[in-house]
Amino acid sequence: MTDSSILTADPKNTAKKLETFRSIRPLVHCITNEVVQEITANVLLAAGASPAMVVGEGETEQFASIANAVSVNVGTPYENRVAIMKKAARAASEAGRPWVLDPVAAGGMPWRDKIIFELLELGPAAVRGNASEIRFLAGVGTGGKGVDSLDSSEQAVEAAKTLAKKYKTLVVVTGETDYATDGERVLAARGGNPMITLVVGTGCSLSSLLAGFIGANGASVETCIACCDYVNRAGELAAARAKGPGSFHCEYLDALWLLQPGDF
Ligand SMILES: Nc1ncnc2c1ncn2[C@@H]1O[C@H](COP(=O)(O)OP(=O)(O)O)[C@@H](O)[C@H]1O
Ligand SMILES: Cc1ncsc1CCOP(=O)(O)O
Ligand SMILES: [Mg+2]
């Protein structure tokens, strides 16, 4: 990216946000997809949060209003689960709790796209997606290849700004470089390792971790980029020790746990 107005993540900011996150140990209410439940809970635990997958119709509103943050992920949507997502999003907003939307596979299927746009209207504190998802939501392109991106994150920076402005939210678009924007400022987190894309749920679990970072530190571009910077460092550490995706999965959890604020 040649745009000199995009600043790179400040390691001191990452250290501070990670420290606060660990001291608060946020309770993160996850309403996520069927594929990534376990990696999401494990990523949150390793990083230093308390995950809870509360998806019952009779309990989700109450829990959304007491958790530090809510993570809503549309990866495997069905009618009942979508109704629960909307209830939780409304309850969180009413209680002043932040919630994060992961618009998995936006652009591929009109039924799902309608649900995502309805959720966007409910006021997420942040939206985290891959480049094709973010571009589609901003009115550019037709989405990715299922849950995977066909675009680079650089190609989605302007779309991320447009989306952030339109819905008055923070937008995080991930890829080789991660970008966070409030519609005006853009910060970038570089590094990481592409092997992370060979383990399912690393994007989805990042969205839930982002909810935890926001729940602990407040919603800001700095909070978002700190979360991405931390995950990238964990990806680098894990890749240095892994033989392939299987051992990367384990090493990634270990790296999230091992990394300390002082390492940044
Ligand atoms: N080429 C890459 N090199 C390093 N890290 C990457 C690369 N592509 C994606 N990532 C990282 O993988 C994680 C998931 O991002 P991404 O693949 O964009 O999301 P999704 O899984 O939702 O499609 C993020 O932490 C992102 O930084
Ligand atoms: C494979 C798959 N199918 C529906 S949701 C999902 C998980 C996607 O996870 P991620 O976006 O983190 O790669
Ligand atoms: Mg995804």
Give the closest residue (by CA) to ligand 2 atom 8.
201
pLDDT in tens, 143-156: 999 999 999 999 99
Q: Given the CA of residue 206, which atom of ligand 2 is nearest to it?
A: 12
Q: How far is the CA of 37 from the centre of ligand 2 (A)?
A: 11
Tally of structural domains, the chain = 1
Cα dihedral 140, 142, 145, 149 in deg (nearest 10): 0
d(CA 44, CA 119): 23
Which mutation among 42, 128, 148, 204 tests ligand 2's pocket best, with the greatest number of atoms within 8 A of CB?
204
Residue 136 within a domain: yes
What CATH number does residue 79 fall under? Answer: 3.40.1190.20
The pTM of this model reads: 0.98
- From the CA of 148, the nearest ligand is 1
> Token pair of 60, please?
């989700």
Which mutation among 133, 145, 147 tests ligand 2's pocket best, with the greatest number of atoms within 8 A of CB?
147
Q: What angle, 0 to 180 degrees and rounded to 10, lies between the N-to-C axes of helices 37-47 and 202-217? A: 40
Residue 187 within a domain: yes
**Ligand 1, CB within 6 Å, residue ranges:** 130, 148-149, 174-176, 178, 192-194, 196-197, 202-203, 206, 231-232, 235
H or E segment to which residue 81 belongs: helix 79-94
Residue 2 within a domain: no
Locate the DSSP E strands across the chain.
Answer: 7-8, 27-31, 50-52, 69-73, 99-102, 126-130, 170-174, 178-181, 186-189
pLDDT in tens, 19-51: 999 999 999 999 999 999 999 999 999 999 999
Task: Give which of 260, 219, 258 is closest to 19, Cα–Cα.
Answer: 260
pLDDT in tens, 167-188: 999 999 999 999 999 999 999 9
Where in the sequence is the domain holding 68, given as residue range(s)?
Answer: 7-263
Residue 95 within a domain: yes
Is 90 exceeded by the pLDDT of residue 3?
no
Residue 208 within a domain: yes
* Whole-number pLDDT of residue 1: 46
Q: Are 216 and 165 in contact (CB under 8 A)?
A: no
Q: How far is the CA of 183 from the centre of ligand 2 (A)?
A: 26
